[in-house]
Structure 1
């Protein structure tokens, strides 16, 4: 689940904007709301996965 951690860190630092736009296309580029939604989902997914031994 380290992939989630990397995505969370990337989204929070803003260094992954280029990668996100490449993955999601013009939607992310035109709407920061999408990025925030992904960040929230990744945080929840990361927290849930870390809670499972």
Structure 2
């Protein structure tokens, strides 16, 4: 019975690795970068104002 338990451990690990691999390679919904890019543009404008204001 102990030998069976030692054989089940790698089997369970392989199944877990397969599930994790399929989850990691799933197709994800593409998000738009609009808000992030708008925020970055505002940050750059603010930094330019700070630099020219001196």
TM-score range, shorter chain: 0.3 to 0.5
Answer with 1 or 2: which has the greater Rg: 2
Greater RCO structure (CA 8 Å; 6+ sep): 1
Higher helix share: 1
Normalised TM-score (structure 1): 0.41
